[in-house]
Structure 1
């Protein structure tokens, strides 16, 4: 769904899911400005802000007249009949949607904002949209930076750090376009903030940009994600034997054919070691998914965790996703409807759907001791 088209359609409430507040805000401001709209921003810490504020807006800006740190303020503002052709950007508004009054006011926003050509833009990293308003909110996800955006950011950072970079490396950077391509390709899946942090840290420590530092930033993504950990291939010695299986999996990964492999056998036959060794042979990062750590106590938490984990893994592509003893991670799935309200079935269903649809360069290697415990329809 195109954000620009949503503006042209005068959609009253747009929810942008992203962790990149500033990038989303700049994108909204750019489009709103082109559409000739006034632009205002509200946060709980600063209230309503914007350029060329009009006298009729002052009542929303003075804490003594109306506290600016209450969620009613932006909603009252955007529904005020004197406010028109205005885009109001609000941050983290999902935190206030547990109030019946706020939910009712959101429905008022939908009706009143459309009449006055106003728009409420919610920027939030989560999409906990209450049932009462979900039909009135248009949800879009801000895509991660594309290669062109990363390239522009990279070149700006290099220009800003002129004099701090190794002269030989800097000359190669500006004369060899492959260096830029390799860095930006390695950064695929990072937010713009994460990319900037990785690049500036590399410059500060090495006086150049090292792709290894980009991958270190990606490792941070793994560490912050429930159920995931990254495996260092240096931790194991070379696996002896199982040469045919090793050769088959290695060829499948390098050729890009196939989605993954399931290694089945009794415990102690080297299945897990083989899976980890393949990462060492191919030079790809190996990410371990612990399905047991995916499950949470809150309703919907497990489904969100598996979705977030799979998105994070895709951001690391090309890579290997390793699931050890798959049957234990999905134990009880056949009786999931009676034991956990179907959570286990939904989590595993999300994983299977992702596995079937993926084309992101993630090769899945799973091991199992007892094939009979895995549902036949899997």
Structure 2
């Protein structure tokens, strides 16, 4: 367990005060208690917890008696300082008192300097659910991030939760793996609650594939409530994307790039892709279908939620989002309209700059199989360093659909409404000619609008004339975005981006 090794290293190095950031407080205490019963625990050292509710509790008795039963937040540090024996004190949720009491904060800083030189070792571990130390303490007190539980810990939890009900007695190895995978990204407390609810729903029949869906549904709610991320369902397949042949071929080539075979072959893991273009060209749809095509979990980052809350919480939000994505990996992390998060990288007290720096550093250095799928409508608002090589594997421009692509998009939406034998029923070439400058979302709206008069006319079947009439009543968004579109086409011509369309690339080559 990496965090425990880091904690032991700090203790061995006589770092006396340590901040432990974990949402799974009881699991961390269970781990510390297990360490205190091992041979590596210093002889004679006690393990004592304190919180404002239960006061002092002994998890391991020290050699020198510690007789205090209670303390206030203002006196607990004095009591620890006066103790003549050796002990590790765990102060739960003590960050609240550091934030609101300057004397307590100063006393802790003094102890961080003084305790390492005592003859009897005394350590203080502060637990909190997030990175919450005041600025003046951050250089004196190291923070260890416990992080989310890994697959092994989730499996141990699953076995504990099902032992009494024998809900896994008839489960296959594959079902166990899927249950564990469905809970990745949750804390121990959250995963335990999800498993227990699945056991209740299953009744006396034992856990099965429906239980996996139950846990996934619970995870979807929990992740959404966390604010920054949303577990997103797959939407269709690549067949639902009309045109964009170059982009689809690029994504298809990387379908198995996260596999062990790819690692053994020597392939590096794909980092991500950025799609730029005016609204409605299919950028978000591509993110949704890519996750399904690759068979990977899709997480959508809510950039608005990243910057919500108290001052200083934005950095915590982005770190938490990254941490969840890495635990759930392999996954696709969809950052929709990324320019809204990082436009100009400036804002309240430099918050946007710090969040941007955290995200950039992670993208550059990440080793977890998290594929970042970023979309942007207005590239002019993006910091130039975001799109440079090394951040994303490729930047694709989704141009206005060509005549042939408009036909393909119309076919997709007509088939979705149950129409077949399209070439015999419709003159889609004529409709495509009448919709020059329309984007995919507008072609979808066109089909929908065309159905209303057909429905009112005795529910008759849709005809080409209905589509042409609907097209004549619409003004495409591209009419007011010509300057922006030309700027994006210039990026393609200068090698800053690739065109996502085979048709456009063929036209450029000719």
Deviation digits for residues 183-238 of structure 1 (CA, Å, limit 9, x no counterpart): 33443333222222222222221231533233234323421233333333359993
Instruction: Give 1:189's aligned residue.
Output: 185
Q: Equivalents in 1 of 2:156, 2:279: separation in Å?
A: 51
Q: Equivalents in 2 of 1:355, 1:313: separation in Å?
A: 12
Q: CA deviation at 1:108?
A: 4.0
Instruction: Give 2:214's aligned residue.
Output: 213
Instruction: Give 1:75's aligned residue.
Output: 77
More moved, 152-161 vs 40-49: 152-161
Q: CA deviation at 1:125?
A: 1.2
Instruction: Give 1:97's aligned residue.
Output: 98
Aligned partner (choices 155, 160, 167) of residue 156 of structure 1: 160
Q: CA 1:342–1:327 in structure 2 vs 1: closer, same or farther (change >3 Å)?
A: same
Aligned partner (choices 26, 40, 43) of residue 51 of structure 2: 43
Q: CA 1:377–1:275 in structure 2 vs 1: closer, same or farther (change >3 Å)?
A: same
Q: Equivalents in 2 of 1:268, 1:135: separation in Å?
A: 48
Question: 3-state SS of the aligned residue for 2:75?
Answer: helix
Q: CA 1:375–1:186 in structure 2 vs 1: closer, same or farther (change >3 Å)?
A: same
Q: CA deviation at 1:27?
A: 1.9
Q: CA 1:235–1:26 in structure 2 vs 1: closer, same or farther (change >3 Å)?
A: same
Deviation digits for residues 113-170 of structure 1 (CA, Å, limit 9, x no counterpart): 75131211111112222243333323212243343333333233332212xx3xxx62
Q: Equivalents in 2 of 1:146, 1:287: separation in Å?
A: 18
Q: Equivalents in 2 of 1:105, 1:374: separation in Å?
A: 45
Matches within 5 A, 1:349-368: 349-368=357-376
Instruction: Give 2:7's aligned residue.
Output: 3
Instruction: Give 1:120's aligned residue.
Output: 124
Aligned partner (choices 309, 334, 355) of residue 347 of structure 1: 355
Q: Equivalents in 2 of 1:282, 1:265: separation in Å?
A: 24
Deviation digits for residues 261-314 of structure 1 (CA, Å, limit 9, x no counterpart): 222223322222222222333343322223233224644222222222222222
Matches within 5 A, 1:137-156: 137-156=141-160
Q: CA 1:293–1:9 in structure 2 vs 1: closer, same or farther (change >3 Å)?
A: closer
Q: Equivalents in 2 of 1:322, 1:372: separation in Å?
A: 20
Q: Equivalents in 1 of 2:299, 2:373: separation in Å?
A: 10
Q: CA 1:212–1:229 in structure 2 vs 1: closer, same or farther (change >3 Å)?
A: same
| Alignment of 1:87 onto 2:88 | yes
Q: Tell whether the 8 Å contact from 2:184 to 2:327 is kept in structure 1 after alignment.
A: yes
Q: Root-mean-square deviation (CA), in Å? A: 2.9
More moved, 125-134 vs 180-189: 180-189
Q: CA 1:235–1:94 in structure 2 vs 1: closer, same or farther (change >3 Å)?
A: farther
Q: Tell whether the 8 Å contact from 1:291 to 1:330 is kept in structure 2 after alignment.
A: no
Instruction: Give 1:65's aligned residue.
Output: none
Q: Tell whether the 8 Å contact from 1:97 to 1:130 is kept in structure 2 after alignment.
A: yes
Question: 3-state SS of the aligned residue for 2:254?
Answer: helix
Instruction: Give 2:282's aligned residue.
Output: 270
| Alignment of 1:261 onto 2:273 | yes
Q: Equivalents in 2 of 1:287, 1:240: separation in Å?
A: 24
Q: CA 1:57–1:349 in structure 2 vs 1: closer, same or farther (change >3 Å)?
A: closer
Q: Tell whether the 8 Å contact from 1:79 to 1:108 is kept in structure 2 after alignment.
A: no
Q: Tell whether the 8 Å contact from 1:261 to 1:365 is kept in structure 2 after alignment.
A: yes
Q: Tell whether the 8 Å contact from 1:7 to 1:32 is kept in structure 2 after alignment.
A: no
Aligned partner (choices 317, 322, 337) of residue 329 of structure 2: 317
Q: CA deviation at 1:350?
A: 1.7
Q: Equivalents in 2 of 1:369, 1:145: separation in Å?
A: 36
Normalised to the residue count of structure 2, the TM-score between the two structures is 0.63
| Alignment of 1:198 onto 2:206 | no
Q: Equivalents in 2 of 1:251, 1:218: separation in Å?
A: 31
More moved, 186-195 vs 121-130: 186-195
Matches within 5 A, 1:272-351: 272-296=284-308, 298-333=310-345, 336=346, 340-351=348-359
More moved, 361-370 vs 93-102: 361-370
Structure 2 residues not aligned, in runs of 5+: 259-268, 387-510
Question: 3-state SS of the aligned residue for 1:359?
Answer: coil
| Alignment of 1:371 onto 2:383 | no
Q: Equivalents in 1 of 2:338, 2:293: separation in Å?
A: 23
Q: Tell whether the 8 Å contact from 1:249 to 1:261 is kept in structure 2 after alignment.
A: no
Q: CA deviation at 1:91?
A: 0.3
Q: CA 1:205–1:344 in structure 2 vs 1: closer, same or farther (change >3 Å)?
A: same
Q: CA deviation at 1:71?
A: 0.5
Q: Equivalents in 1 of 2:216, 2:10: separation in Å?
A: 36
Q: Tell whether the 8 Å contact from 2:308 to 2:314 is kept in structure 1 after alignment.
A: yes
Q: Tell whether the 8 Å contact from 2:271 to 2:363 is kept in structure 1 after alignment.
A: yes
Q: Tell whether the 8 Å contact from 1:78 to 1:113 is kept in structure 2 after alignment.
A: no
Count residues in correspondence. 358
Q: CA deviation at 1:26?
A: 1.8
Q: Equivalents in 1 of 2:348, 2:136: separation in Å?
A: 26
Normalised to the residue count of structure 1, the TM-score between the two structures is 0.83
